[in-house]
Amino acid sequence: MRYAFVLGRVYTLSIAELVAILEKPDPSFNLSGDSIKILEASEEVLVIETKHPLSAERLQKKLGGVIKILQIVDVLKKREQDSINFALKHYFKPGVLKKQFFKDYKGKMQFGVSIYLLDMSLARPSTAPVPLPNTEQRNFNSPFGEPKRIGMMIKKSLADTGQSIRLVLPEFNSLALASVVVTKNLLLAKGAEICILAGKSVIYTAKTLTVQDFEDYGRRDYQRPVRDEKQGMIPPKVAQIMLNLANCQTNNTILDPFCGIGTILQEGILLGYKMLGSDINKLAIRGSENNLEWFRNRYKIPPGKYHLEAADARKLSSLLSGQKISSIVTEGTLGPLYTAYPKPQEITANFKDLASLYADSLVEFARFLPSGGRVVICIPAYKKGRNNYEKMPSLDFIKDLGYNFISIIPAAIAKKLKFLKLTERNTAVYDRKDQIVAREIAIFQKN
């Protein structure tokens, strides 16, 4: 079976999360741990082959960094000089469409077309037409017209059989439908989203199985009774990715010792972990209490799934009274949040303070973490420009404290996927356009 995962904006993190989940045996997703092969990958999409069919719906809920899960239908060869629609000219026959892409649906059907690029250079329209070896006319227009051309081809093919159907297209400057459009137009229930994954010499056709529940992520972020713009809150999707990097089993206990108003805690509960949260600030703990009470009611969470405590991360172990903690997932305090780029001296001072706080906290964590237990942590990185950050100068101090670095993506995979944006210490940075303080996500493992 072949599947494709449409990646989130910070695709390096999406791939890190995917690899962590797909390589771990987990019967609830029909994953046996050794059965996944990566066939292709780009900044937009990752294609895999599996021995067994996957439970796409469950997997979609588990993954914070995946926008859609697709099932590959066919692989076609493409000549480099051919446009995508030309390469598909004879493919979308009514029989193929009805058998492979559309469910039986009695009402007015609708479908959408999305293109994802396996070769990002295809995004640049070729300005000068390439001389054609034969007289056939090919279309060298911008690839941004391709979903429409392919959509019309499919529509016509179905119309010839008497089937009328509505076509939903991406916005004019986009090649793919946003998940919100797929959901709002009920494409998966009333027809299909047909996806084309385009490389230089290969085309995969695919149909969308699931899309990320964008409304629910919004609810988990913005409908909480307490928010804290001053300290900053981690987006629920990023919290989910970090939890998935912790390599824990469901029912394990995970600690967030800088829990703020509880984003990582709520996401951990939803993933099936027992969560412990602590924070030095009593007000933050009260915020977490209120938020988790709301969350528990909204998501019908049984009692006993979390515990909160006001505590300094550097003096935590005495409060844990022998509780077994498998991993720590945390947004260690990021220091001040800025609206203008801070002076170099400020950055140096912040990093010095934070290194000392993190070092003292890691010493404390080593008292109760098991050997092999992970600390997945966000560290501030100051955004100087596109893909250019001022990062904490060295994290090597963790080695003297009994920890080792774990690459966010295993070296063998990172070596093959040249487009990944990994730092020199194999961490990845999550940033937002409007924010100066970005989050560097690192994994430490206790020896």
- What are the residues binding ligand SAM (CB under 6 A)? 231-234, 257-258, 260-264, 279-281, 284, 312-314, 331, 333-334, 357
Q: How far is the CB of 223 from ligand SAM (least distance, A)?
A: 15
According to DSSP, the residues that pair with 437 across neighbouring strands are 382
In the bound state with ligand SAM, the residue whose beta carbon lies nearer, of 46 and 285, is: 285
Q: Which residue is nearest to ligand SAM (CB)?
A: 260
Q: How far is the CB of 282 from ligand SAM (least distance, A)?
A: 9
What's the rounded Cα separation, in Å, for the pair 167 and 173?
17
What's the rounded Cα separation, in Å, for the pair 316 and 251?
22
In the bound state with ligand SAM, the residue whose beta carbon lies nearer, of 45 and 284, is: 284
CB 288 within 8 A of CB 277: yes
Bridge-based pairing state of the strands 306-310 and 274-279: parallel
Locate 73 and state its tokens.
């239908």
Q: How far is the CB of 433 from ligand SAM (least distance, A)?
A: 19
In the bound state with ligand SAM, the residue whose beta carbon lies nearer, of 198 and 233, is: 233
Q: How far is the CB of 322 from ligand SAM (least distance, A)?
A: 21
Phi/psi-derived region of residue 38, left when phi > 0, alpha when psi is between -120 and 50, beta in every other case: beta
Locate 169 and state its tokens.
């297209």
In the bound state with ligand SAM, the residue whose beta carbon lies nearer, of 284 and 320, is: 284
- The one-character DSSP state at 175 is S
Q: How far is the CB of 357 from ligand SAM (least distance, A)?
A: 6
What's the rounded Cα separation, in Å, for the pair 114 and 428?
28
Return the exposure string of 201-239: e unless at least 16 CB atoms fall within 10 Å of the residue's CB, then b. Answer: ebbbbbbbbbbbeeeebeebbeebebeeeebbbbbbbbb
In the bound state with ligand SAM, the residue whose beta carbon lies nearer, of 53 and 336, is: 336
Strands (E), 312-360: 327-330
In the bound state with ligand SAM, the residue whose beta carbon lies nearer, of 258 and 430, is: 258
What's the rounded Cα separation, in Å, for the pair 284 and 281?
5
What's the rounded Cα separation, in Å, for the pair 358 and 115?
44
Query: If DSSP codes are grouped into helix, strand and coil, which group holds residue 216?
Result: helix
In the bound state with ligand SAM, the residue whose beta carbon lies nearer, of 233 and 414, is: 233
Query: If DSSP codes are grouped into helix, strand and coil, which group holds residue 170?
Result: coil
Q: How far is the CB of 100 from ligand SAM (least distance, A)?
A: 43
Is residue 390 within a helix (H) or strand (E), and if so which, with residue range?
strand 388-390
Q: How far is the CB of 346 from ligand SAM (least distance, A)?
A: 18
